[in-house]
A and B are shown apart, each in its own frame.
Chain A
Amino acid sequence: MPTLKEQFWDPVAGFGVTFRTMFRKVVTEQYPKEKKPTAPRFHGRHQLNRWPDGLEKCIGCELCAWACPADAIYVEGASNTEDARFSPGERYGRVYQINYLRCILCGLCIEACPTRALTMTNEYELADATREDLIYEKQDLLAPLLPGMEQPPHPMRLGNDDGDYYRGTFRRQDDETGEATQ
């Protein structure tokens, strides 16, 4: 035979939690109507950066693909020629794909990148309707052209050779032109 407490108090005791919470601050986020900024170093979608003249920083070395624990990155390198230059130096990434069905956004690729070509943005809205659309190609990942940048292929504008770029001894065309990242 249940006690009086069990019969009358226990069934309504839970409402006490409800009642208390009604006066607390609401934590529900109104996503997607309201979007909150992420933490500044949140691991979001990748970005392939550019030099201030628009040349790509990626040299197609595949170290990101090598570092990737999920085998999400596919890169094919190719030679820059005098007629078609995409990056300073000899080599550029002709094909660059990241498969966001596989990517776990761990950031090991960023650590592996020797030229800081690959960084991560704070964009996290990586959902789509088809599998194909979640394989991001190079044009999807490249940073947008900022003022002063020129769509490759074009010759090196900031120095005579790739050494000038990597040593940072290139001529700044426009001091306000920063890098495309962050």
Chain B
Amino acid sequence: MTVTPSKAGSNAPAPQDLVTLTIDGIETSVPKGTLVIRAAEQIGVQIPRFCDHPLLAPVGACRQCLVEVAMPGPDGELRTMMGPPGRVKPQASCTLPVAEGMQVKTQLTSPIADKAQQGVMEQLLINHPLDCPVCDKGGECPLQNQAMTNGRGESRFQEVKRTFPKPINISAQVLLDRERCVLCARCTRFSEQVAGDPFIALVERGALQQVGIYEKEPYRSNFSGNVIQICPVGALTSADYRFRARPFDLVSTPSVAEHDSGGAAIRVDHRRGKVVRRLAWNDPEVNEEWITDKDRFAFHYANRPDRLTHPQVRDGETGELRPASWPEAFAVAARGLRAAGRVGVLTGGRLTREDAYGYAKFARVALGTNDIDFRSRPASAEEEQFLASRVAGRGLGVTYTDLERANAVVLLGLEPEEEAGTLFLRLRKAYRAGGTRIFAVAPFTSNGLRKLGATVVKAAPGEEVPAIEQLAHDGELALDGGGVILVGERLATVPGALSAVAVLASQTGARLAWVPRRAGDRGALDAGCLGSVLPGGRPLADAGARVDVGAVWGSTVPTVPGRDTDGILAAAAAGELGGLVVAGVDLDDLADPTAARAAVASAGFVVSLELRASAVTEHADVVFPVAPVAEKPGSFVSWEGRVRPFEKVLEGSNAVPDVRVLAGIADELGTPLGFQTIEAAAAELDEFASWDGERAADPTVAASPAAPAPAGSHRLATWKTMIGDGPMQDGDPAYHASGPTPTVLVSAATLESLGAAVGDQVELSTDTGTAVLAVGVADLADDVVWAPTSSGGVNLGRDLGAGAGSAVRLSLVPAAAPAVQEAM
């Protein structure tokens, strides 16, 4: 994992920048500035190391990588680097850059280097407890391995070892065994350099030196799991994986994270048909070696007790769901859908590309409708047009690497640390490298934006449009000189904002990328799960596009433009649509969860394809269990437009993917889909070459000035935090406990006028309901408050009927009154 990948050809430096040196008698030329340890890797010489990590700045903390080095002197004669008179001084190869004519001898050819390495290993093991049998790292431990290859067989240490009380929680998820630590500082460097959450540091001195946290604050980071993975010993372990398995028990499968649109490469380890942990996999183009805690720890959802295991149909007599066979359920679903007449399809954002394509074709071929929408969140017609014109079927656009090369990145309606963690880490890398300036239009300077060094253009919710329009004329920003605009899905809730973004991109020539939260959103869009978009980004309105699609499908494509999610639900409630086909949609995510629940409840006939029992399955007439990501192959499309395929992890599972269920219903309806497997669906989707015809025009919606909040109210700014209440995050208490305390943020003046102190409980209320959360302070405007959309049991849409821009009232909960504690 720690071997640096060879850089792409385009990055190769000019030949004059190469430095020639000799390692173990082998002459090699490497780019100037390369570290000796890296140059040795390139010729296949492995120098033992603990602190060295290719993605972290060199520190030379562990001294395990000592080698013997000779340099040519001014007279051209080789001189070995010496310490005290007569004694060779071995050098740490992880901090030593190569130099012309350098002669390096590693442990393979130099007894001095070998002896030095053995000495360091013995020193490191003096206080190491050697409790490998109870240590989670045992079997995959660099210390274990390198003690075998580069250590002495026997210890000469007779004295009592330093011990500490057994593990301490540096967060709810991360456990620290201080006595196992070899003080390599990988974790502290990761936190400081990569994640930007310097909550852990090396404290004390000498033999007592240890990794410590500030006593009153737990280690709080959305990326804390990475320190567990890069720890070269078992000092940092995860509460979730503790004592769960040994490396030889595990079957590892490379996969792709399903929690955000980053497309992070992960490795899924399973034992006896159950996933026990997930690790970051190395993909230099995408996530490098880092993933978010959500990608790492949120996988228990597939094994919850409410997982659906068999099809169910609603019994005509009792009105209850009863188990049914697959053929019966297919037949009942087909009969019901045929009787329902017009049917809408809601797919949600969690589908793989292939499953999404199954729905897109099912809606048009089997149901004969364009009423299909993948957006299960507040959305708008303007967004649909924006997606059709700027995003759908565009293929690979702005990439992670492009962000590092861009001179400026503008974040609009996007909080990368919470909504796209992989993107956040790459933006932070770009910012730290110094070449990329980051700007954001946001209601306040969040922690994530602070860590990106972002210049924040403050805009209250609903007032983003003037701020976006101003960006074109911002001399400091200079978007026209190689800028990138990243648009979050939340901008859809601001009328005119996406139109303004399209204008901004056209005016400045800046590159544009749309960053949804969900992993399946971009894939669903490309597969045609949108009323006005056919597969491959073909506009429905274009007759040529319809012919194109009809030729692949062997049928005609309905021409009436489809409704969006809210429209489909409203039509179902009003009886205009007789039925609904709903995939993994959490109704609480929608703009108006109460109305959505009512619509699903009152809809004529509902077919639900779900993993676990949900608000939709409660009212569904037929429920089909479908496979979670680990139990089917497929692919996601990252926000870049990069297709990220993955294989089935749990080979033993016989859970069926959505595509198979849809094919079964379609067969019963007499309009076969033409494929029954993921592979066949992918093959058919790939038949759609990219669309080279006319695209939909950019949206031109005029901005409507946001209404000021009524007296005594505040305007609500909100987005989802990474660690929150989604159903795919269920099942790991330590993961949730390591998340932030759900907090309402207000301006300092508002806090004062409330008479509250930071940490007090405040009540948010609307005419619909109330919610109690802790209060904090941020540089918000006085009439704006921020609260997490769905965290700590509070869902603003469900509990308050409020979304971004809504007016909410704020009051202090008297300390004497028991604060309402919402159940997690």
Contact = CB atoms under 8 A, between A and B. Distances in A.
Interface in B223-270: 242-246, 248-249
A91 interface: yes
Contacts of A114: 133
Given A78-B243, A79-B243, A61 B134 contact: yes
Nearest to B129: A163
A78 B276 CA distance: 13
B362 to A, nearest CB: 42
Contact of A61 (B138, B163, B242): B138
Given A66-B248, A90-B166, A79 B134 contact: no
A66 B246 contact: yes
A163 B138 CA distance: 20
Contacts, number: 33
A52 interface: no
A118 interface: no
A51 B249 CA distance: 28
A89 interface: yes
A108 B398 CA distance: 56
A115 B167 CA distance: 21
Interface in A67-94: 76-79, 89-91
Given A78-B243, A79-B242, A61 B133 contact: yes
Contacts of A66: 139, 246, 248
Given A90-B166, A91-B134, A114-B133, A60 B248 contact: no
Nearest to A62: B246
Given A59-B134, A61-B133, A77 B248 contact: no
A10 B196 CA distance: 98
A72 to B, nearest CB: 14
Interface string B132-166: 01100011000000000000000000000001001
Contacts of A59: 133-134
Specify which of B134, B139, B244, B249 lies most central, judged by the most chain A CB atoms within 10 Å of its CB: B134
Contacts of A62: 246, 248-249
Contacts of A134: none
A93 to B, nearest CB: 10
How many residues of B sit at the interface, in one of the four size bands? 10 to 19
A180 interface: no
Interface string A98-136: 000000000000000011000000000000000000000
A115 B133 CA distance: 9
A60 to B, nearest CB: 7
A79 B175 CA distance: 13
Interface string B164-188: 0011000000000000000000000
Interface residues of A, number: 17
Contacts of A90: 134, 166-167, 243
Contacts of B242: 79
Contacts of B167: 90
B198 to A, nearest CB: 29
A149 interface: no
A139 B338 CA distance: 58
A145 interface: no
A89 B167 CA distance: 11
A141 interface: no
Interface in A27-85: 59-63, 65-66, 76-79
Nearest to B248: A66
A60 B246 CA distance: 10
Given A77-B243, A79-B242, A79-B243, A63 B133 contact: yes
A91 B243 contact: yes
Nearest to A66: B248
Contact of B244 (A65, A77, A89): A77
Contacts of B133: 59, 61, 63, 114-115
A115 B264 CA distance: 41
B732 to A, nearest CB: 15
B747 to A, nearest CB: 45
A159 B134 CA distance: 19
A62 B134 CA distance: 9
B125 to A, nearest CB: 17
A29 B166 CA distance: 56
Specify which of A61, A115, A163 lies most central, judged by the most chain B CB atoms within 10 Å of its CB: A61
Nearest to B249: A62
A59 B246 CA distance: 13
B134 A89 contact: yes
A63 B242 CA distance: 16
A67 to B, nearest CB: 10
A99 to B, nearest CB: 14
Interface string A143-173: 0000000000000000000010000000000
B14 to A, nearest CB: 51
Given A60-B243, A61-B138, A66-B248, 20 more contacts: A59-B133, A59-B134, A61-B133, A62-B248, A63-B133, A65-B248, A66-B139, A66-B246, A76-B244, A76-B245, A77-B243, A77-B244, A78-B243, A79-B242, A90-B166, A90-B167, A91-B134, A91-B243, A114-B133, A163-B163
26 contacts: A59-B133, A59-B134, A61-B133, A61-B134, A61-B138, A62-B246, A62-B248, A63-B133, A65-B246, A66-B139, A66-B246, A66-B248, A76-B244, A77-B243, A77-B244, A78-B243, A79-B243, A89-B134, A90-B166, A90-B167, A90-B243, A91-B134, A91-B243, A114-B133, A115-B133, A163-B163
Closest 6 pairs between A and B when the two form their complex, measured CB to CB: A61-B133, A77-B243, A91-B134, A114-B133, A62-B246, A91-B243
